[in-house]
Structure 1
Amino acid sequence: MSKGQQSMAEEVGEPIKYGDVFEVSGEVGRKPIAAKDAAAMQAAESMAIGNVKKGGPAALAQSAADMNERRGLLPHDAVTNVTRHDGVAISKEDLNGQRVFTEAIGVKVGGQYVQPPGTKLKSPSDDVPAEAMTIGEALEAAAGTVGDKLVDESDAAAIEAAEMRATGRGQIIARGIAAAAQSAAAHNTRVKRDEEKIKLRDILEDAKAKLQDDKAVTKVEAEGILNAELRNKEGLSPYPGGVADSIVTAARLNHEKKNLKS
């Protein structure tokens, strides 16, 4: 996004849109960049490449989404149909000895980057022991540890990030645990009596079975899920024994298991 485009958006009090940041036009270009759109892009990059590319589409989208939220132009739980309906997809092809990654936002190309010849693409799950703890198992551990915790927005954000990383999709699954967590967090803000509120146990019991797919927890997944929780809560630490804390613990245990085998 050019400084002129950013200044223009700020002057008229409009959110930063996809067309301000990416070479897209039409309906996609007119859509504002929302926080959950950026999270979906980060999940897609982490799954396909092993990390979020510095200066790549997901990093640019996150910066724009953060600015839109800080200026009060979009709520933190905002999501557009750009990622909700069409999702984010990353394809790869070999051209002249180089691996080219193309990231699509909805149906529009958001960016491309090239992997130099001879570079091995390292998956987030490379070198993880077969008996490593999975995301689903870590979520079930959270349910067992702090199952009585009332579901709030930070839990929903962390569960959404966990589901997307477990399934490899750039969007949440209809009637999945992320959708249930979002619904629970919204419900809990509307009711006054705690006994009528939905607890973490209600969402995460049997999480592994509820996920359409699952994968071992690595540092990459843990960092993404931790960031999702922290962006939606006060303070600089995850809830003790909660979603992010359990995921971080699982990643550490998996890393220790790998070192013991090496």
Structure 2
Amino acid sequence: MSAQGAMSQEQPHRPLTYGDLFDAKGDLASMPVTKEDALMMQNAEALTTGQTKTDSPACIMQSAADKNLQSRAISPDRRTIVPEGGVVVAQLTTVPGDAKREYIIAGQTVVRETTLLRPTDPIVAREGSITIGEALEAAALGSCDKPVEAIDARAIKSAEERATGLSLPMKDGIAATAQSAAQLNPGVDDFDKTTIGDILTDASSELGADKLVTQEDARKVREAELRGQKGEGGQPGVIAAALQAAANMNTEI
């Protein structure tokens, strides 16, 4: 059987859609969740709440987007209507105490929740440009339990270099920590392995400097990620995917 014939018999995995995750309707319900969409939600959520909880819509979307890529249910460059329609996290009350919050994707409210409104919270999260630090935090959000490997360490080092302009890892910085973790993880129990979340959750504050993600940044990080990997040219790793999604968003703003 030819390679083309074998491929034609493969049954593609069904991607996780917005209808699977939220109370979405219409065209949005059947749309697959992508890394770009998830990063938009992470940015909107962070602007409103100042943090992203592990059970938040942003975290749920990041996890779904990662699964869609890892299972090859969608291609890395898959686009949806979300970037055009936008993502908003809106506060419906401004009085102290309980506040109702809506998560709106492409003009459709998909989640309603009640939270404690802080005086410093903005009323509506607006879509904005994404920095390298924020993209790394998005990667941590979607892959918080993934042990750091050599491919991750190379990508993190490149991202730090692009953010700071320094060619050598900062002492005790995220790149140095990632490199150490990648070397030590193979020799320790799974429970004790250092994860992506351990290193990148607060990447924005731990970088010595930061900058908006460009297509050049995303390309350099992807090249670093692949360095030394023989025959590896398929799905990007979690770091490169997050940087590429951020670069795509910034290009459209």
TM-score tier (shorter)? 0.3 to 0.5
Give the TM-score, by structure 2 length. Answer: 0.48
Give the TM-score, by structure 1 length. Answer: 0.46
